[in-house]
Structure 1
Amino acid sequence: MTKISTMIGLMAAAAVGITPVLAQTVSDNEVPTTSLNIPGNVQLYGDAKPNVYRPSATVNGEIITATDIEQRLALIRIANNNVELPAEEMQRLRNQVFSNLIDEKLQIQEAKAAKIEIDENVVNQQFARLAGRFKQTPEQFTQYLASKNSSAAAVKQQIRGEYAWDRLLSRNIQSTTNVSTEEVEAIVKQMNEAKGQDEFHIGEIYLSATPDNQAAIVENARKIIQALQAGGSFQAYARQFSEASTAVVGGDLGWVKAAQLPGSMAEAAAQMQPGQLVGPIEVPGGVSIMLMIDRRQVLTADPRDAVLSLKQISLDFAPGTTEAKASELASQFAEATRNIAGCGAADEVARSLGANIVSRDNIEMRALPAPLQSTLTTMQVGQTTQPFGAANEGISVLVLCGREMPQTATAPDLEQIEQRLLEEKVNKRAQRYLRDLRRDAVIEYS
């Protein structure tokens, strides 16, 4: 079913097959058509108090406090490498967090009404896994969260919400959602007809704009891009800021063709390489920030589908190593590994450097970071990559020991297609389910 994506996407797996839903433009003289009885020339009466941010609320009798909101904001800062945002951006994010907490309350309440028990062992296991990502014990991670103005309770409550919603959807929606053979065959036919066409796996953060606020929205998009370039999580920012329906899956559009994208995005995608971030790009109704996760040609063999045998030589930097010392060590390491004569000589070079060496077979090239993919694609067996690493961790090189190239394009995987279609249907029904919960909720702000 769905996956637990605690800490604003840090533990999320990539979603598949989501088609982008963008806002539609409306001309200055055009009144949008709705099923509501709203006059064309609307006049507002009274003040704007209902739109003023309030720091707490009760949702069907259960309280959300200002502390809950601030602790969740702190989690987002942690997930984004403690990047500080401008005050106006923080206020927007605070409003979004408030909205997310309301949804979370509704999801947990609905699960309880359906007599779904939240297994605290699962909650604690997920918390321990997250602590492990930070190379800490659960106790150490609890202290770390407190030092960042958050708490273990905030993380565990988010896990509970996601776990409860996952179980609820599994019981009430997935169990009654089916994909027919005809639907799968239609997708296979489309793929065969599109053989050889470029296909892009794209992440998007979409921000709606009007002619009046276009400049401000573009500036806000630039600030988000700066935060992402400084190490922020794309999924985290998409979840909190994107106004497209794909925000719930971290902005993941899945695999799309140029014809499925607005013209400006299609033009940009054609020039982008995996891992590249571009924007803001003007699109109908606003602007978008694009991340090229991957690209391929439909049903066509790709060198990056190769399976590799590698040796990795790594030199760890001692704790407290200065940047200057790290640079010196990196230069020595690069010189010593530059002319390694094949994998057979790699062990001796590693010993001479006091470095670690590991051998790995059956490594899918696509599982490696985009810069390494580009390098390995052009390398011959026995050659060595340029050094890579981080000043606070160490430095490494990869030696290419073998490459199994794809001979033919892989046929469509019917099981994967069926699973993707099932997830699309479940996600759409889940959105309607949550919409109904919001509509029926009693929410009092204070």
Structure 2
Amino acid sequence: MKNASKMAILTGALLFGASSLSGQTVADESVPQAGLNIPEKLTIFGENDPNVRRATAVVNGDIITGTDVGHRLALIVAANGGEVSDEERNRLRLQVLRNLIDETLQIQEAEANEIVIASEEINSTFDQVARQNFKQDLDAFDQYLRSRGSSSDTLKRQIKGELAWSRLLRRNIQPFINVGDEEVNTIIERLNASKGTTEYRIGEIYMSANQETAEQVAVNMRKILEQIRGGGSFVAYARQFSEASTAATGGDLGWVRPAQLPQSLAETAVQMQIGQVVGPVQVPGGFSILYLIDQRQILTADPRNALLSLKQLAISFPEGVSEAEATANAAAFAEATQNIKGCGAANEMANQIGASIVDNDQVRLRDLPGPLQGTIAQLQIGQASPPFGSVEEGVRVLILCGRDDPQSASAPSFDQIMSQLENERVNKRAQIYLRDLRRDAIIEYN
């Protein structure tokens, strides 16, 4: 599941976590030797402040500037609404530099294999990110990035790295991955036998660790978890820092059953609530932060896939309205809307009470905010939901005008399962591939 299609951001994390005073003596008989014959009592000579020494790097002749690091860091800070402490910013800067080093190695290796990513392809993907993830056109998105201290160039470079590495893996690794028909058929049989049990859609941020780095990696992941729980974007952190191949899709693992996960992740997932983020969870080779996006019953129709026809009635409050006035207006709105006799009377009611009205016949129940799903699921045709909203955004109700329940779910196809198995094996090979690139690289830090 884990691979190195993204950056190994915490390799050498002990440099960040250790005190580095000149002439400091360190004595810790519990430190593993890892075959390196390290003295149990040692002295670190000289200053070693990674925030100063490693601001830029030259990777096999390609320069990573402080501006490159700053622009990429700004993407993460923007995803957190700008609410990042100075301490956290310094820690993230170190991780971003390591990301950029791995990204540079990936691009270099792709170019050495005569893989060229056309600018048109990069721009097309950039356009998709702007429109799908940020709901903005290119000009507005470019202005948004610059206003946050970043640039479109840094995001395009990340896109180039992801495309180049993916294409390189498809050429150099995927053709040598074999998945037998018998393996796929066995999985299909297990799925059919598991009908009705629960599977989970999970987001994951994975970071590798060994005995020497485990403690510091766990500390860093807890800080990331704090940022996410404080309103930071899980997708943004996954894209920048996860070492799993799913980093390019914001950490989304897709739908998985507990049996497909490492035991520690499976035990955690089955106890989570939708929308919950937990971690760090120790897994073979490192740690993971988990985000439970959704859950469903295997090969069973999910009621939340029902397609709804809805009318929305909404009122807004004048600027400066007092809380008491807003509460009174909301109560009157609630009383009026609860007496609506079906969707046919909704337009007339909207005119009477001065409410705006919006129709939407293609709303999937699962796409509504979590707190609303249970409420709307209990409505009969023609009934209105309780009012919801805020003083700032106004109050609204949803009226259920129609509902098409889902049909029975079907198992993933033979080809889909084979593709998933192939991807897992490519991911494992990719981790080794990038490790070897790091080992052979000539890197100068300034």
Aligned to 1:357: 358
Aligned to 2:375: 375
Deviates more, 1:281-290 or 1:398-407: 281-290
Confirm whether residue 159 of structure 1 aligns to residue 159 of structure 2. yes
Aligned to 2:23: none
**Contact 1:308–1:400 (CA<8 Å) still a contact in 2?**
no
Whichever residue aligns with residue 358 of structure 2, its letter is: I
In structure 1, C-alpha distance between the alignment counterparts of 2:336 and 2:46, rounded to whole Å: 68
Deviations 1:242-265 (A, max 9, x none): 677866764445444456667776
Whichever residue aligns with residue 103 of structure 1, its letter is: D
> How do 1:133-152 and structure 2 match up within 5 A?
133-152=133-152
Deviation at 1:31, TM superposition (A): 9.1
**Could you list the runs of 5+ residues in structure 1 that have no partner in the other structure?**
7-27
Deviation at 1:74, TM superposition (A): 0.6
Distance 1:103 1:302, change over 3 A: same
Deviation at 1:167, TM superposition (A): 2.9
Deviates more, 1:266-275 or 1:156-165: 266-275
Aligned to 1:101: 100
Confirm whether residue 200 of structure 1 aligns to residue 200 of structure 2. yes
In structure 2, C-alpha distance between the alignment counterparts of 1:113 and 1:214, rounded to whole Å: 37
Deviates more, 1:433-442 or 1:371-380: 371-380
In structure 1, C-alpha distance between the alignment counterparts of 2:287 and 2:113, rounded to whole Å: 41
TM-score, scaled relative to structure 1: 0.75
Deviation at 1:76, TM superposition (A): 0.8
Deviations 1:21-73 (A, max 9, x none): xxxxxxx9999797xx4449755565476783410000110100111111111
In structure 2, C-alpha distance between the alignment counterparts of 1:141 and 1:384, rounded to whole Å: 38
**Contact 2:221–2:289 (CA<8 Å) still a contact in 1?**
no
**Could you list the runs of 5+ residues in structure 2 that have no partner in the other structure?**
7-27
> How do 1:81-230 and structure 2 match up within 5 A?
81-82=81-82, 84-132=83-131, 133-205=133-205, 221=222, 224-230=224-230
Aligned to 1:236: 236
In structure 2, C-alpha distance between the alignment counterparts of 1:173 and 1:281, rounded to whole Å: 29
In structure 2, C-alpha distance between the alignment counterparts of 1:322 and 1:159, rounded to whole Å: 45
**Contact 2:308–2:365 (CA<8 Å) still a contact in 1?**
no
Question: Which of these two proteins has the greater Rg computed from alpha carbons?
Answer: 2
Secondary structure of the residue that 1:398 maps to in structure 2? strand
Whichever residue aligns with residue 144 of structure 1, its letter is: Y
Corresponding pairs, count: 414
In structure 1, C-alpha distance between the alignment counterparts of 2:80 and 2:436, rounded to whole Å: 32
Distance 1:383 1:227, change over 3 A: farther
Deviations 1:243-296 (A, max 9, x none): 778667644454444566677765654454322345677889998654221122
**Contact 1:273–1:295 (CA<8 Å) still a contact in 2?**
no
Deviations 1:409-431 (A, max 9, x none): 53443333223223223322332
**Contact 2:311–2:343 (CA<8 Å) still a contact in 1?**
no
Aligned to 1:59: 59
Whichever residue aligns with residue 52 of structure 1, its letter is: P
Secondary structure of the residue that 2:422 maps to in structure 1? helix
Confirm whether residue 274 of structure 1 aligns to residue 284 of structure 2. no
CA RMSD of aligned residues (A): 4.3
Identity of aligned residues (%): 50
Secondary structure of the residue that 1:228 maps to in structure 2? helix
In structure 1, C-alpha distance between the alignment counterparts of 2:41 and 2:391, rounded to whole Å: 60
Secondary structure of the residue that 1:424 maps to in structure 2? helix
